[in-house]
């Protein structure tokens, strides 16, 4: 028999207030629920010590906490861990935990598959399967790193979350905004928005809404500043030309704590020469940003070759000489298909 109970994780305070009102509970119980869900991260109503047994019983009849453990985990030689969550209905999504000394970043998925269909991306190759709910997105954040089993060393708690996993986050805008609200609100996880980065190909209307309603960092997938070349590899260029995206971004202040990053995958003899570096510098103009140069990670059926280390260094140094902060991003998790552009929800086994 199908369980029609709704998950509570992924609900904003206003939504939780509607739940407790429905159950005839005082309004303050909503904040108590939020604390148990997002701060204490309980998985069962019985763990909510200051919620009466009567109210716990009512909640359990109509709702579930909504937490589910990852179905599989695969660990890289560099310590990166790729988790797969099976949400049913073909929604197998992947989430990547990236430890780095005293930091730990979680790369979160916002969709099962992706509509953007970028030529060089494994997620885009599988097509679009559906938007994730706020509950399914929050479940990734709340469930990783997992509670260690007896005898296991605990993993570092999360210091940063990047919405750079499967899917285009701004193509699932309403659920993304709920999650960002939960993560940054005092009644939720109370994170600084500076710990969160949202990546996008540049969906214009939604990008403006994100910039106006939040203070999270933004990363734009550029990959080539040549419009015709970008259109041949990223169909989104037709609807959201990168020149228009950068014009929109130029109207916002990224000179203080909020950061704008431009993501640039480098392919040999395609976009890695100084002519392309100059086009990119012209596109950026006076807009305050940093450029992340990314090694291409080969995927099946795509006839592209990574740039050489030498070419990447020359490209980086040229941008830096122009006053544009540019770095070469270290690849993580390539041996487990967890690096940039490699997530496909295949559900590889635990190791």
So which residues are the catalytic ones?
94, 340
Contact in structure between 223 and 212 (CB atoms under 8 Å): no
DSSP character string of 146-175 = PPPPTTPPPPPPPSEEEE-SSS-GGGGHHH
Residue 255 CA to residue 274 CA, distance in Å, equals 26
Residue 337 in tokens? 């298909």
CB atoms under 10 Å from CB of 278, counted, come to 14
CA 100 to chain centre: 18
Measured between alpha carbons, how far is residue 68 from residues 129, 138, 195, 230 in Å?
20, 11, 24, 39
Name the region of 177 (left: φ>0; alpha: ψ -120 to 50; beta: rest).
Answer: alpha
Residue 279 CA to residue 296 CA, distance in Å, equals 20
């Amino acid at each position: 028999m199908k369980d029609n109970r709704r998950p509570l994780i992924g609900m904003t305070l206003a939504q939780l207030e509607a739940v407790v009102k429905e159950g005839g509970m005082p309004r303050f119980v909503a904040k108590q629920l939020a604390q148990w869900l997002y701060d204490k991260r309980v998985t069962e109503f019985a763990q909510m010590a200051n919620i009466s047994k009567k109210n716990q019983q009512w909640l359990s009849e109509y709702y579930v906490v909504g937490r589910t453990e990852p179905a599989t985990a695969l660990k890289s030689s560099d310590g990166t861990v790729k988790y797969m969550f099976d949400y049913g209905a073909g929604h197998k999504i992947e989430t990547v935990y990236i430890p780095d000394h005293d930091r730990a970043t979680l790369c979160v998925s916002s969709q099962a598959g992706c509509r953007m269909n970028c030529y060089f991306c494994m997620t885009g190759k599988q097509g679009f399967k559906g938007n994730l709910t706020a509950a399914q997105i929050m479940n990734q954040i709340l469930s990783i790193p997992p509670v260690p089993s007896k005898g296991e060393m605990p993993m570092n708690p999360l210091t940063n979350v990047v919405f750079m996993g499967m899917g285009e986050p701004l193509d699932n805008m309403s659920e993304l905004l709920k999650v960002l609200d939960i993560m940054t609100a005092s009644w939720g996880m109370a994170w600084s928005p500076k710990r969160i980065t949202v990546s996008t190909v540049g969906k214009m209307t939604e990008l403006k809404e994100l910039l106006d309603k939040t203070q999270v960092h933004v990363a734009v997938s550029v990959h080539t500043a040549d419009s015709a070349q970008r259109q041949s590899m990223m169909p989104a260029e037709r609807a959201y030309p990168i020149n228009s995206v950068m014009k929109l971004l130029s109207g916002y202040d990224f000179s203080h704590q909020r950061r704008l990053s431009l993501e640039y995958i480098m392919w040999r003899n395609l976009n890695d020469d100084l002519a392309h570096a100059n086009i990119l510098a012209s596109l950026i103009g006076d807009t305050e940003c940093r450029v992340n140069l990314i090694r291409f990670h080969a995927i099946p059926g795509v006839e592209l070759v990574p740039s050489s280390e030498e070419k990447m260094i020359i490209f980086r140094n040229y941008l830096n000489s122009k006053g544009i902060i540019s770095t070469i991003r270290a690849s993580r998790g390539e041996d487990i298909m967890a690096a940039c552009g490699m997530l496909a929800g295949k559900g590889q086994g635990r190791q």
